[in-house]
Amino acid sequence: AQTVTQSQPEMSVQEAETVTLSCTYDTSESDYYLFWYKQPPSRQMILVIRQEAYKQQNATENRFSVNFQKAAKSFSLKISDSQLGDAAMYFCAYRSFTGSRLTFGEGTQLTVNP
């Protein structure tokens, strides 16, 4: 079974600075997907960024980028030019290429200080 670990329960960053959230996972599969979801106080789960394991290039979405290290089974999220609206709980998630189930990490609560 796959597992996802987020070792940072809480992180904080100054507005306009850069922060990196860590995620590691364990799997015996070679083909899979990885996601970062954001959950603001509204509780809605919002997809931030996704990565397909077969792609070597790291995914980027505006101020959000990932560092995908397949051999190390690491998938960190970098938020550049942090904004107050980035404050939220962030979840890392794994999905097998052939399945539909998402396995989530425990979450990292990000605080952005003005």
Partner 1 sequence: NAGVTQTPKFQVLKTGQSMTLQCAQDMNHEYMSWYRQDPGMGLRLIHYSVGAGITDQGEVPNGYNVSRSTTEDFPLRLLSAAPSQTSVYFCASSYGRRPRGSSYEQYFGPGTRLTVT
- Which residues of this chain interact with partner 1, rule CB under 8 A? 4, 6, 9, 33, 35, 43-45, 47, 50, 52, 54, 91, 95, 97-98, 100-107
State in angstroms the smallest separation of the CB of 2 from partner 1: 11
State in angstroms the smallest separation of the CB of 18 from partner 1: 25
Q: Which is nearer to partner 1, 74 or 104 (CB)?
A: 104
Supply the DSSP string of the chain, one letter for each residue: --EEE---SEEEEETTS-EEE--EEE-S-SSEEEEEEEE-TT---EEEEEEETT--SPPEETTEEEEEETTTTEEEEEE-S--GGG-EEEEEEEEETT---EEE---EEEEEE-
Q: Which is nearer to partner 1, 57 or 98 (CB)?
A: 98
State in angstroms the smallest separation of the CB of 77 from partner 1: 15
